[in-house]
């Protein structure tokens, strides 16, 4: 029992697999330990559904497979949770929204299927902001998830449930989605690692869409090695997703590279008035440490910084208004039946089924796409996005990485910004850059005695260089 407790608290997948092969533990025992931890943390509202019997049955099957000497998958021993935006055949998926109440997926998304094919055990689906829209995990129809380190605070969002699931040891790895920081920001608030790969590295088939040109499946874990192994498994070309990249799977990284890199940082970011002074000092300290270790850390000017958040929210809300038009009460999910005609069904279903934040973003998106405003907002935002991409391409000709804070502050108290959408949107200033350009980025946890809560240092790498990004992240840890 003591070894099992250690395994779920500190163990990496390599340690778990070694213990399984040596017969010191069984996968069924490991799953039961995770289920016990889920039960003990129910007050945090991490999961919207736990696949208890299914997970135990799968564990018994895999135990028998191992004892029989059959070849085992790369993720044998990995107990994984999935965010409630990922489709899993014959399982309910709702994107944290009343409008999809009771909807059961008819297929399994590519990323989830690749996990299963490599012998991972899917233990449940985690809570999230409705349709991945939010930074606090307070917009879910299931109620808010609480931060496991301090239940008076939020875990971040939209993948807040996924981050708390890992931090509270209810699973080894959690799969989330990142549209503008929705994996990295909650990872920062909860003191774990959160990675968003290059856009297209992981197939989006089976991921409920928010902003299709921004969305990317991401990975949350307590260590780099497990992120690397899961990324290796789920990345790669998929004929079901035309935007997926025809590249070989990512290399598995389990050690730091003894190389020296050129790392850029942006002084305007560190001078930002909203940045917590302790986080600022920590970033500066890390820059000095990297320089002492032989890396070349250089300040660069990024004059487009004030346009990141406006461009991001114009474009994502426009895409959201289009993507969410399919939820009409006719084809699937929630439907309001006491209506006299089809138009009233649409109106009542969407009014009743969508939450406040989703309605706000649909209205914003509809506005910027409307006649008379399309060129003034949407077209201009697309031009800004192109300028941002040009600037990033220029930076990566001279540098290997960009170093940034992940968030402006530690986790907010519950209710602190939920009614201040502008403040919530502006808090994404450091994370949306990677999504606007489609670049890979990772949040690396930092602990601070001064703040008594964790925060994240963010590394953003060049496209398709996830293995190098993970290797450098090991040296920063």
Q: Which of 26, 135, 140, 182 is catalytic?
A: 182
Residue 251 lies in a domain: no
Asked if residue 84 has pLDDT above 80, the reply is: yes
Q: What pLDDT was estimated at residue 151? A: 98
Range of the domain at 125: 2-234
Q: Which of 83, 196, 286, 463 is catalytic?
A: 83
**Would you state the structure tokens that stand for residue 369, as one six-digit string?**
């796409």
- SS3 for 457? strand
Instruction: Write the DSSP assignment of 403-439 as a string of letters.
Output: EEES-SSSPPBTTSSTT-HHHHHHTTTTTHHHHHHT-
Per the model's pLDDT, the better-predicted residue between 12 and 176 turns out to be 176
Q: Which of 26, 81, 135, 158 is catalytic?
A: 158
CA dihedral 418, 419, 423, 424 (to 10 degrees): 30
Q: Residue 76 has what DSSP assignment?
A: T
Q: Which of 275-279, 289-293, 317-321, 448-452 has the lowest mean pLDDT?
A: 448-452
Residue 220 lies in a domain: yes
Q: What mean pLDDT do residues 440-462 have?
A: 95
- In 331-376, the DSSP E strands lie at none
Catalytic annotation on 158?
Answer: yes
Residue 313 lies in a domain: no
How many domains does the chain divide into? 1
Asked if residue 35 has pLDDT above 80, the reply is: yes
Percentage, residues of the chain above pLDDT 90: 86
Residue 33 lies in a domain: yes
Q: 44 near 148, Cβ under 8 Å?
A: yes
Asked if residue 75 has pLDDT above 90, the reply is: yes
Q: What mean pLDDT do residues 436-446 have?
A: 97
Q: What mean pLDDT do residues 400-411 have?
A: 97
Per the model's pLDDT, the better-predicted residue between 333 and 15 turns out to be 15
Task: Encode pLDDT of 188-230 as tens digits.
Answer: 999 999 999 999 999 999 999 999 999 999 999 999 999 999 9
Q: What mean pLDDT do residues 314-339 have?
A: 91
Distance from the first to the final alpha carbon of the chain = 30
What's the mean per-residue pLDDT of the chain?
A: 95
Length of the chain as a residue count? 477
Closest of 258, 255, 158, 256 to residue 214, by C-alpha = 158
* CA dihedral sign of residues 192, 445, 272, 150: positive
Per the model's pLDDT, the better-predicted residue between 454 and 273 turns out to be 454
Percentage, residues of the chain above pLDDT 70: 100
Task: Encode pLDDT of 224-249 as tens digits.
Answer: 999 999 999 999 999 999 999 999 88
User: What pLDDT band is residue 1 in, cutting at 50, 70 and 90?
Assistant: low
Q: What pLDDT was estimated at residue 224? A: 95
Asked if residue 444 has pLDDT above 90, the reply is: yes
Q: What pLDDT was estimated at residue 438? A: 98
Q: 430 near 135, Cβ under 8 Å?
A: no
Asked if residue 150 has pLDDT above 80, the reply is: yes
In this structure, what CATH number is given to the domain that contains residue 34?
A: 3.90.1300.10
Q: Report how far residue 430's alpha carbon sits from residue 141's, in angstroms, rounded to the nearest whole number.
A: 28
Residue 254 lies in a domain: no
Asked if residue 335 has pLDDT above 90, the reply is: no
Q: 243 near 200, Cβ under 8 Å?
A: yes
């Amino acid at each position: 029992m003591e070894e099992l407790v250690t395994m779920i608290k500190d163990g990496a997948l390599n340690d778990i697999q070694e213990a399984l092969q040596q017969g010191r533990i069984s996968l069924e025992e490991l799953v039961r330990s995770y289920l016990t931890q889920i039960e003990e943390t129910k007050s945090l509202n991490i999961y919207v559904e736990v696949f208890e019997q299914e997970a135990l049955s799968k564990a018994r099957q895999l135990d028998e497979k191992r004892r029989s000497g059959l070849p085992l998958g790369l993720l044998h021993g990995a107990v994984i949770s999935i965010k409630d935006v990922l489709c899993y055949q014959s399982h309910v998926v709702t994107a944290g929204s009343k409008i999809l109440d009771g909807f059961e997926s008819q297929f399994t998304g590519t990323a989830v299927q690749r996990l299963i094919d490599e012998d991972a055990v899917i233990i449940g689906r985690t809570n999230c902001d409705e349709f991945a829209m939010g930074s606090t995990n307070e917009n879910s129809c299931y109620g808010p998830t609480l931060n496991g380190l301090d239940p008076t605070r939020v875990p971040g969002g939209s993948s807040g449930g996924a981050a708390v699931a890992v931090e509270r040891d209810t699973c080894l790895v959690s799969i989330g989605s990142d549209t503008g920081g929705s994996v990295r920001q909650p990872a920062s608030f909860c003191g774990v690692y959160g990675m968003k790969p290059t856009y297209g590295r992981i197939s989006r088939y089976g991921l409920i869409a928010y902003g299709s040109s921004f969305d990317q499946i991401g990975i949350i874990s307590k260590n780099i090695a497990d992120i690397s192994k899961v990324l290796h498994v789920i990345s790669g070309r998929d004929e079901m997703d035309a935007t997926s990249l025809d590249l070989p799977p990512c290399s598995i990284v389990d050690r730091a590279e003894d190389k020296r890199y050129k790392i850029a940082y942006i002084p305007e970011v560190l001078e930002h008035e909203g940045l917590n002074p302790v986080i600022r000092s920590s970033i500066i300290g890390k820059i000095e440490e990297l320089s002492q270790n032989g890396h070349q850390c250089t300040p660069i000017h990024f004059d487009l910084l004030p346009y990141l958040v406006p461009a991001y929210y114009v474009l994502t809300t426009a895409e959201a208004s289009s993507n969410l038009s399919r939820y009409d009460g006719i084809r699937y999910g929630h439907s309001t039946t006491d209506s006299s005609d089809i138009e009233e069904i649409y109106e009542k279903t969407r009014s009743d089924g969508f939450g406040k934040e989703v309605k706000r973003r649909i209205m914003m998106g509809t506005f910027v796409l409307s006649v008379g405003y399309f060129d003034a907002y949407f077209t201009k935002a697309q031009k800004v996005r192109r300028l941002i991409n040009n600037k990033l391409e220029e930076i990566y000709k001279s540098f290997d990485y960009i170093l940034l804070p992940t968030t402006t502050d530690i986790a907010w108290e519950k209710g602190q910004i939920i009614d201040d959408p502008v403040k919530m949107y502006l808090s994404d200033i450091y994370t949306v850059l990677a999504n606007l350009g489609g670049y890979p980025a990772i949040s690396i946890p930092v602990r601070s005695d001064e703040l008594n809560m964790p925060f994240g240092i963010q590394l953003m790498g060049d496209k398709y260089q996830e293995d190098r990004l993970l290797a450098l992240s090991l040296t920063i840890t």
